[in-house]
Structure 1
């Protein structure tokens, strides 16, 4: 019988017993924590009286609102550069529209996740 080419199956969320332990601040580890319901500060939603699905929804909304703040800060800086800066400092109408569309998308996502489930 031939030896299989792939390792034995294991949970994608658990590190293999004999494998290296991931640093929690690596990109992959952070993506896993975000995917498992981490809020914008990287921690799970703190209210334990909520159902797990609701805690995930609140963490998603929290991340969306944190992203929305960043997008709006960039949009405000771009608008101020357009009004007060040199012409080469202006990012252009397509970037401005993209920032506005990103803000709309993040707002819609946060609003959807904050709606009661059921």
Structure 2
């Protein structure tokens, strides 16, 4: 069988099927538990739970902005792994096709991220106090 005649989109069909099954299964299980499970609301269930002790203070307190800043920085610098993983998987093939260019390109990418990390550190984005 000649595989060159197969459309490129056909090779993605198993991935689309997997995504479809995951979505259908997630929706099915979520709604099935809602339909079959008992629903008996009460004041006790609606109250805050603190290890069996009486709640202290309000459950709706504001969080410090620093929590969100750290979370956003984590996401920002964690995204680099999304770009580095495919590069690392294909590195040998890239090395034979393009020489050292992909390696230098990734070094520049990591250097830009490192400069961003230093900038955040200098601005005090990682200091808690």
Question: Where on the TM-score scale, by shorter chain, does this alignment land: which range?
Answer: 0.3 to 0.5
Normalized per residue, which structure has more helix? 2
Asked which structure has the greater CA Rg, the reply is: 2
